[in-house]
Chain A
Amino acid sequence: MLCLRGIHYSVNGKRIIEAVNMRFRRGMSYSILGPNGAGKSTLAYILMGVLKPSRGRVFLGETDITDLSITERAKLGISLLWQEPARYEGITVWEYLTLGGKLRVNKEELQRVLELVGLPYELYAHRFVDKSLSGGERKRIELASLLLLKPRYAVLDEPDSGLDITAGELIENVLNYFKETGTTVILITHHEEIAAKTDFAYFLCAGRLIKKGFSREVVEYYKRTCGRCFLAGMMRDEH
């Protein structure tokens, strides 16, 4: 189980995350739902080790991983789908997905994951992961990379952003794939229809955890309340 215990995060005295506790059990899927500026991506970065919490600890099972680096966490099976995947000049999709040959995968596996994210192998394997790709194509390649890594915990930060209308179907495919491989999914989104696809949900607002439970319940609550408190300044009082 991956746990956030009493997480606080501040920047220049401004509180971004306040006393957040979350648990992610193996093989289940979770969404962290909330409006823009709720602190969702900050939590993703804290889980991956990109940011260190100002207070609180991150646990993997009984092990405190708060001070572990990004690479060390990745080696423990935590992976992150970045909201805005970087571009790499001169690196082909094939090289990128195999991490320059370090990840041992065969052509069939590559074909399978690329097809799963809607990209034909023949058209994409030799293209560069640079600015010649659209935002949607780049996002799909990042999803394929995550599928190949077979992480124990996959944190997906706004996986649908930049994708076309087939995004819902794609995310459903990815969730099903991870279900089969026993990967825990932590999906960060502000779209209730995407959040509803997971087993459980956390509703985060202005850096605080407002509600947790089955996705359907949390999504209903989010729909009822969040439209009225769009501005982050209002949120804390409203809830």
Chain B
Amino acid sequence: MSIKIDRVKEYEALLDVYEKEGLDTSLFGDRIAAIIISGDKIIGLNNVSGVEIRGEEIEDGVRADVKIEDNVELHFPIHLCTGFLKNEGYQRVIFNITVGNNSKVKFLSHCIFPYAKDFIHDAYSKIKVGEGSLVIYEDEHIHGEGVKMISKTEVEVGRKGRYTGKFSLIKQRAKELKLEMSAKLADYAVTELTSKIKAIKDDSVEIREVLKLEGAHSRGNLKSTVIAFDNAKANVVNEAYGLGDYSKGHVECHEIVKGSADVQTIPLLRVRNDKAELTHEASIGRINEAQLMQLMAKGLTEDEAAELIIKGLLEGGNNLNP
């Protein structure tokens, strides 16, 4: 990893946060293609064979172009780390990612704003997945109490390409979040967009997920899970468009409410091809009573049962296995 000498301290401060949060610090190693951003500076950049990352410092932020060649299969994820270590300010990040044909890559995007009190993070990502390529993009956030976040991702998936996008903000407050993810699919392309968010106190969450099944036999799945406590507000809009012959889409939204939280979900399913098929599934409200009672019948209190159910919904059960 090449780090400019005057930015070593910032680099080390970010590493400290990673360690404290239990994140994988080996992502900063030389074997990993990575760009490390802090505020409006690029403090580290590393390329590996088949991956070219170019960064440019712009006003209030960074623009980065990431190019993956054809037939590249990476054994380690590409690490996109965006940090902001001050209390207040504004940060703009633009990622332009192009994955060639028949490649297999995974991106790990970490947004680290641990001390933010009055901070706006504005991220725009454009991702192009080449024909027959497989791309996984995981977006994880470590926030302070006061982050206003605007995140917009546009994905184009080429013929027979696969894209999985996962956004999670479950460990800290969402505060103010506007999340928009859209995917346009070519023939036989497959996409899954998942978002998991926990909103507490007076947090405000807006999610819009859009699936455009343009290609024949394209398939897509939108899935959002929001847990809203206290006085939090959440508005989830899932849109799916069945356009291609034999395209198939499924939209799933689960929102659990506790306290005086105010949540709503709006599905929009539109078909303009009589060979397309879209389905929708939603649950909104308190935790399912049968789920609660059945865990209570094993000796858990209602709160313990609710905690286990919510943990499963948000974390997918990854943390407790032996």
Residues of A at the B interface (CB closer than 8 Å) are 48, 50, 69-71, 73-75, 79-80, 82, 84-92, 94-95, 98-103, 107, 125-126, 128, 145, 149
Contact = CB atoms under 8 A, between A and B. Distances in A.
B320 A101 contact: yes
Contact of A75 (B299, B307, B316, B320): B299
A48 B293 CA distance: 10
A183 to B, nearest CB: 15
Interface string B251-262: 000100000000
Contacts of B321: 92, 94-95, 125-126
B297 A100 contact: no
Given A71-B300, A90-B315, A90-B317, 8 more contacts: A74-B296, A74-B299, A80-B297, A86-B290, A91-B312, A91-B317, A92-B320, A94-B321
Contacts, number: 84
Nearest to A101: B320
Per DSSP, chain B at the interface is helix
B322 A86 contact: no
Contacts of B307: 100
B314 interface: yes
Contact of B293 (A70, A89, A99, A107): A70
B302 A71 contact: yes
B322 A102 contact: no
B312 to A, nearest CB: 3
A102 B316 contact: no
B312 A89 contact: yes
7 smallest A-B Cβ distances: which pairs?
A90-B312, A91-B312, A74-B299, A90-B316, A70-B296, A86-B291, A100-B308
Interface string B278-322: 000000000010110111111111101001110111111100111
A149 B298 contact: yes
Contacts of A145: 298
A94 B300 contact: no
A92 B308 CA distance: 11
A128 B309 CA distance: 12
B316 to A, nearest CB: 4
Q: Does more than half of chain A's interface fall in helix, strand or loop, or is it mixed? A: loop
Nearest to B291: A86
Contact of A94 (B288, B296, B313, B322): B322
Given A86-B291, A88-B309, A88-B312, A128 B317 contact: yes
8 contacts: A48-B297, A71-B299, A86-B288, A86-B291, A90-B312, A90-B315, A91-B311, A91-B317
A2 B256 CA distance: 37
A107 B298 CA distance: 19
B302 to A, nearest CB: 7
Nearest to A128: B317
Contacts of B294: 82, 85-86
B36 to A, nearest CB: 31
A50 B299 contact: no
Contacts of A89: 254, 312-313
A82 B291 CA distance: 11
Nearest to A91: B312
Contacts of B254: 89
Nearest to A94: B321
Nearest to A50: B293
A149 B298 CA distance: 7
A102 B321 CA distance: 13
Interface string B137-148: 000000000000
A74 B321 CA distance: 25
B320 A95 contact: yes
A71 B296 contact: yes
B299 to A, nearest CB: 4
A48 B307 CA distance: 22
A92 B81 CA distance: 30
B216 to A, nearest CB: 28
A48 B297 CA distance: 7
A87 B295 CA distance: 11
B313 A90 contact: yes
A95 B301 CA distance: 16
B296 A69 contact: yes
A101 B320 CA distance: 7
A142 to B, nearest CB: 8
A91 B288 CA distance: 15
B305 to A, nearest CB: 8
B315 A70 contact: no
A70 B315 CA distance: 27
Nearest to B310: A90
B260 to A, nearest CB: 25
A73 B298 CA distance: 9
Contacts of A98: 320
A125 B296 CA distance: 22
Contact of A95 (B300, B313, B317): B317
Interface in B96-128: none
From B288, B297, B307, B317, residue with most partner A Cβ within 10 Å: B297
A99 B320 contact: no
